[in-house]
Structure 1
């Protein structure tokens, strides 16, 4: 089998969440295992580096960023939107979107990811070949030259000042050049740039605290993403609203994969219904359907009256003990 065929087979496995571990053990079908080193999976899947949203906001308010926003609330909203887009595979497009890889996959909560290990793309764990033709149609250099994934909270060669616009140009190069995605309009690029600037302004996280992955927090973020989608739809930013819903769908998939398929089938089915609803809403938004806002409001109400999740976390893959056992099998 040649190298290209091997890469394509690996990608097919990643795209459908069928990593080697998941293929052998049906109870562990987490999509993320396709790009995580085996010896780091428990840490990577059970916890993430802490990110303080309030600290990001304060850092942004104390910078030139604040001068470019009409109000503190609009800045706070853009920070949230930027964070959710950072976690949206559809933003990158191409093979990354099919595999479920987002900016967050490599830069977890804006830091690096020492456990990232995508077959044929990474060298050692924590590295990636950013000029690999598998992801990039234009930057592929036919040379395997992975680099260490950078921590976005630390200084680099890109000028982050608003005046230079260098960060926006760099982000565009990543989306279009590195991942073969579609050019993002300014309404989409602006909040991502604001989020990345705030990460840098808040400073590097020395020995960052890791927070446990939480079903409750993931649901709270899902509702926030949909609330922001509604806000953008009301501001006639339909394309951005649709992209936020795609981030919500990715979040739903992550939750669905972790919830116990035997004891919580009702919750899993409810999640599937909400994901399908979001998919239909994305089409309505992209088509500028005037009824889309009413449908979004209905979705918000359903998310507020979701099934009880009190007992779902204990026997799910959010529980580190359950996760560790599944990884060992």
Structure 2
């Protein structure tokens, strides 16, 4: 139940532009779907360093898996409604030692994943929160899960999606990608670091590259799915800003991703590839309003602390 301990991204919709955000546990998604007290400052403002074998030079499969690992598009049931993604409980492949949901956790870093909230099929009728494990070095582990019954990382990942979190049967490409990403996670420990807007922006810029292959191969369904996951990352950044100018920039990026998927669906491949190139250039050198607004947004720990202290909205 390693991948099973992934929690929560985002359930945010803004003018119909966004699906759920995925980079880490969301703010508004948690307020909508989790018990009060489920958000805490530490897990929202700090993140372990990611260490991948091979560094940033990864295959398409690993990069697609990395994006899917951060997306709520993979699971089902209440997990999907709440915007659950793997990255929040396993930030950068490590364990989230601050994660806590009242009623499902007995201490920080523990969660009951065999609970009816996630799946009626997986409910064991007992309160048994277990420690969230790290996924670092998972490719070298001979047996997987708390019961150590599964030896195949692919089988294990599929069971988590379908049985534990009531998700649809994953297509082979998605499953291969999730496995490929997990196999890149190096075994060494890494310190936690403060989370900044630039980190999420850098993740988005990197993930945009995943769209190049389906556009080159003229695969419309895969283009649409990846664009949806990327719009999730934009949504997560969007929810941290309260000023209009940065929100409008991010909304335009989400519209561009939707436009790329629409062009692909229409078979207008050169235009779709050109639109991706333009969006990549914008994201690499974003308007100054984004960086200027970040210190005054909910990326700032003190502003986030004040936001968290407000009455339930």
Normalising by the residue count of structure 1, what TM-score does the alignment of the two structures yield?
0.72
How many residues in Structure 1 have an aligned counterpart in Structure 2? 278
Larger RCO (CA under 8 A, 6+ residues apart): 2
Where does 1:23-172 land on structure 2 (aligned, <5 Å)?
A: 29-31=27-29, 41-53=40-52, 56-57=53-54, 75-153=58-136, 158=143, 166-172=152-158
Q: Is the 2:75–2:165 Cα contact (8 Å) retained in structure 1?
A: yes
1:183 aligns with 2:160: no
Task: State the alpha-carbon separation in 2 of the partners of residues 252 and 100 from structure 1.
Answer: 14
Closer, same or farther: CA 133–76 of 1 in aligned 2, 3 Å: same
Task: Flag structure 2 segments of 5+ consecutive residues without an equivalent.
Answer: 1-9, 14-25
Task: State the alpha-carbon separation in 2 of the partners of residues 173 and 29 from structure 1.
Answer: 28
Normalising by the residue count of structure 2, what TM-score does the alignment of the two structures yield?
0.75
Other-structure match for 2:267: 290
Q: Any idea what the Cα deviations from partners look like across 1:75-111, whole Å, max 9, x if unmatched?
A: 4433322211100111113321221110112111111
Question: Does the residue aligned with 1:57 lie in a helix, a strand or coil?
Answer: coil
Closer, same or farther: CA 295–150 of 1 in aligned 2, 3 Å: same
Q: Which moved more, 1:236-245 or 1:101-110?
A: 236-245
Structure 1 position 231, deviation (Å): 1.9
Q: Is the 2:68–2:74 Cα contact (8 Å) retained in structure 1?
A: yes
Other-structure match for 1:269: 248
Closer, same or farther: CA 197–40 of 1 in aligned 2, 3 Å: same
Question: Does the residue aligned with 1:180 lie in a helix, a strand or coil?
Answer: coil
Superposed CA RMSD in Å reads: 3.3
Closer, same or farther: CA 35–297 of 1 in aligned 2, 3 Å: farther
Other-structure match for 1:316: 297
Task: Flag structure 1 segments of 5+ consecutive residues without an equivalent.
Answer: 1-13, 18-27, 59-71
Task: State the alpha-carbon separation in 2 of the partners of residues 93 and 277 from structure 1.
Answer: 27
1:203 aligns with 2:187: yes
Q: Any idea what the Cα deviations from partners look like across 1:170-197, whole Å, max 9, x if unmatched?
A: 1000111111111222211112111112
